[in-house]
Chains A and B, each alone.
Chain A
Amino acid sequence: MQKPSHQSRQWGDAVFRGLTLLAALVMVGLILVIALQLIKGSQPAFARFGLGFITGSRWDPVHGDFGSLPLVYGTVVSSLIALIIAVPLSLGIAIYLAELAPQRVRAPLSFLVELLAAIPSVVYGLWGIFVLVPWIRTSLEPFLHRFLGWLPFFQGTFYGFGMLAAGIILAIMITPTISAVSREVLLAVPVSQREAMLALGATRWETIKMAVLPYGRSGILGAVILGLGRAIGETMAVTMVIGNRPQVSPSVFELAQTIASIIANEFSEAFDDLHLSALVMAGLVLFIVTLLLNIIARLLVWRVARAPEGMSRE
C-alpha cells in the first residue's frame, strides 16, 4: 500500500471539499435560477396586467385577456375540499398507526398507506377518468344533490368531472403525506407525556386527546400545510378530472381549472407571447405560494422534532 505524502493528502482533501461545496452551491443556484426564470418569463404579462392579474376574473386566450382569479379560485377550492376529506382521515390513520394498532400490523399498514404516495400522479388521473368520475356522476352527485341540493354547492349538471372530482382525487393523494408526517410527529411525542396522562387514570383516547395531540399540534399543523402545498401544486391527476374550464362557480359539480392544470393544458399550445407569459406568471404565483407553505410547514415540523426546553425525550 502506498502512502500519499502529507502535501498530496492535503491537496486531495481540498479538492474533495471543494467538489462537495460546488455541488451544494448548485442547489442554491438552482432555486435562484427557478425564481429568476419565472420572474423574467412573467415580465410581459406583469407589464400588461400588473397585480390586477391576480384579481382579473376572465381567462380568455382568444381575446388576450388574462386574469387568474378563476384559476386561483379553482386551486383554493379543490385544495380545501381535499383538506376537508383528508385531514380527519389522515389524523385517524396517524393515530391508529402510532398509538392504537397492534405492534405486528403497524409496519405493514404504514407501508400500504405510503404505497399510495408511490403511485404516479398520471395513474391517479387515469383511474380518476375511468373509475372515480363515473362513480361521482352516477352515485355521489345525485346523492349529494338529493340530500343537500338546497345548498348552492351541490347544484347543476352531473358531469362527474369537475371541482368535486379534483378535490376527492387530491384528498386521496395527500392522505399519505399528511398521515405519514403526523405519524412521525406522534411517535416523537415523549413517552413520559403519555404516561403522565395514563397515570392520572385516563383512557387511551383521553391520553391521545389531552396529552399526545396537544404536544404534537404544531407538527400536525405542519403536516397539514405540507399536504396543502402538495394539493395546490398537484398537476396531472387534477388536469385529467377537473374539466378544464376556468370559471368561478359556487357549485362543486361545475367544471373548473387550477393554476397547475391550466399550465399543463395550455403551455405547449400557447403560441402568442402574452399567453405564454401569463401562464408563466401563474406559475410564479404557484411557486411563491407553495414556497411559503413549505417554509412554514418545515419550521413547524422542525419545532416538534426539537422538543421544547426543559422537556425530556426518551
Chain B
Amino acid sequence: MTGERNQRRKFMNNLMFVLALGATIMALIPLGSILLYVASKGLIALNWDFFTQLPKPVGEPGGGLANAIAGTLILVGLASLMGIPLGILTGIYLSEFSRGRLAWLVRFICDVMTGIPSIIVGIVVYGTLVLAMKRFSAIAGGVALAIIMLPLVTRTTEEMLKLVPHSLREASLALGASRWRTTYSIVLRSAMGGIITGSLLAVARIAGETAPLLFTALNSRYWHTGLDQRIASLPVYIYTYATTPYDELHRLAWGAALVLVAMVMVASLAARLAGRKAGGGR
C-alpha cells in the first residue's frame, strides 16, 4: 500500500517537473517567433534607402525611414538628458541623506510610477506642454519619455549606491572630505557601473515606447526642423504603417521593427556588460 502511495508521489513529482519545464518552453515559443519574424521580414526591408531616404507618399514605391531613426535617437537623447541626471540625484537623495518619511514616500511613488500606463503620461503631457506650446513637439515627446524613465533610473541608482560598502564612505569622511565630495568622488565612482547599467536599461525601455508619443511628438514625414516641432519616431511609424492596408508600408514597418529591436537589444546588452564590469554580475 505504501508502495502504491510512493509510486503516486514520485509520479506527481515527475509530472510537475515536466509541466514546469513545459511552461518555460511555452514562453520561449512566442519569443522565438517574434525574433524570427522581425529578423527575417525586417532584413528584406532593409537597404541603403531605408537608412537614408524620407518616407514616400502612399503608393510610391521605395523610400526609407531615415527621419524616424534620427527622430527616435533625438527623442531618446532628449529624455535621457532630462531623466538620467534627475533620476541619479533622486537616487542619491534616497540612499545617502534620508531615511525619513519623505524618502519612504519618494521610494513608494517611484515603485508605483513604474506601473502607471505610459499612455497616461501621454495624456498629461498633452494637457500641459502641448496645449501650452499650442503644438506637438519633440520637447513634449522627450518630456513624456523622461517621466517614464525617471523612476527606473532612480531606483537603480539607489540600489547601486546602497551596495557601496559603508567602510568606504567612512574612510573618506574620516580623511576630512565633506559629505558631497565623499558621495561624489568615492561612492558615485564605485557605483558608476551600476548606474550606467540602470540608465541604459531605462533607455532600452523608452526607446520602444509608442503610446506616450502619439499625442506629444506625434509624427512627421520630414526631417526634424527644431525641438519645438513635431518629430518622427520608429515606434509611431511601426504603428501607423502596420495598421494601413499597404504591403509596401508593412514591409517598412518590419524593417523599422528590426532596427528598433536591434537598438533595444544593443542597449540591454551594453547594460549587462556595464553591470558585469562593475559588480562582477550576479
- List chain A positions with a Cβ less than 8 A from chain B: 4, 9-10, 12-13, 15-17, 19-24, 26-28, 30-31, 33-34, 37-38, 40-41, 88-93, 95-97, 99-101, 109, 112-113, 115-116, 118-127, 129-131, 172, 175-176, 179, 203-206, 208, 226, 229-230, 232-236, 239-240, 260, 263-264, 267-268, 279-280, 283, 286-287, 290-291, 293-295, 297-298
Query: Which of B16, B19, B94, B121 has a CB less than 8 Å from the CB of A24?
Result: B94
B115 within 8 A of partner (CB): yes
A116-B31, A175-B27, A268-B218 given as contacts; is B106 within 8 A of A123 (CB)? Answer: no
**Top 8 nearest A-B pairs by Cβ distance?**
A120-B208, A92-B23, A233-B117, A16-B180, A23-B89, A20-B93, A294-B115, A96-B20
Query: Which of A13, A118, A260 has a CB less than 8 Å from the CB of B204?
Result: A118
The interface centre, meaning the residue of B10, B89, B205 with most chain A CB atoms within 10 A of its CB, is: B89
Contact B119 A233 (CB under 8 A): yes
Contact B111 A298 (CB under 8 A): yes
Contact A89 B23 (CB under 8 A): yes
Bound Cα distance from A89 to B23, whole angstroms: 5
Bound Cα distance from A172 to B105, whole angstroms: 32
A20-B89, A30-B150 given as contacts; is B242 within 8 A of A93 (CB)? Answer: no
Contact B112 A291 (CB under 8 A): yes
Residue of A nearest to B154 (CB): A27
Contact A120 B17 (CB under 8 A): no
Residues of A contacting B193 in the complex (Cβ-Cβ under 8 angstroms): none
Bound Cα distance from A113 to B179, whole angstroms: 42
Bound Cα distance from A230 to B128, whole angstroms: 25
In whole Å, how far is A82's beta carbon from the nearest beta carbon of chain B? Answer: 13
Residue of B nearest to A129 (CB): B242
Bound Cα distance from A168 to B254, whole angstroms: 21
Bound Cα distance from A82 to B268, whole angstroms: 26
Contact A268 B20 (CB under 8 A): no
Residue of B nearest to A124 (CB): B34
Contact B24 A109 (CB under 8 A): yes
Bound Cα distance from A93 to B154, whole angstroms: 29
In the assembled complex, 9 residue pairs joining A and B whose CB atoms fall closer than 8 Å, in A order, are: A20-B92, A27-B106, A33-B128, A96-B20, A126-B38, A204-B17, A205-B13, A235-B119, A287-B117
B79 within 8 A of partner (CB): no
Contact A17 B97 (CB under 8 A): yes
Residue of B nearest to A177 (CB): B115
Q: Please report which residues of chain B, range 168-206, place their CB below 8 angstroms from some CB of chain A when the two chains form the complex.
A: 178-181, 183-184, 204-205
Contact A118 B242 (CB under 8 A): no
Bound Cα distance from A24 to B33, whole angstroms: 42
Main secondary structure of the interface of B (DSSP, over half): helix
Residues of A contacting B19 in the complex (Cβ-Cβ under 8 angstroms): 92
B250 within 8 A of partner (CB): yes
Contact B23 A260 (CB under 8 A): no
Contact B178 A31 (CB under 8 A): no
A23-B90, A26-B90, A205-B13 given as contacts; is B211 within 8 A of A130 (CB)? Answer: no
Residues of A contacting B246 in the complex (Cβ-Cβ under 8 angstroms): none
Contact B27 A89 (CB under 8 A): yes
B65 within 8 A of partner (CB): no
B52 within 8 A of partner (CB): no
Contact A120 B112 (CB under 8 A): no
Contact A113 B28 (CB under 8 A): yes
In whole Å, how far is A111's beta carbon from the nearest beta carbon of chain B? Answer: 8
Bound Cα distance from A222 to B118, whole angstroms: 21
In whole Å, how far is B277's beta carbon from the nearest beta carbon of chain A? Answer: 17
The interface centre, meaning the residue of A24, A175, A291 with most chain B CB atoms within 10 A of its CB, is: A24
Contact A127 B34 (CB under 8 A): yes
Bound Cα distance from A188 to B265, whole angstroms: 29
A130-B37, A240-B243 given as contacts; is B90 within 8 A of A16 (CB)? Answer: no
Bound Cα distance from A41 to B97, whole angstroms: 37
Bound Cα distance from A114 to B147, whole angstroms: 23
Bound Cα distance from A263 to B124, whole angstroms: 12
Residues of B contacting A27 in the complex (Cβ-Cβ under 8 angstroms): 90, 106, 109-110, 113, 150-151, 154
Contact A264 B13 (CB under 8 A): no
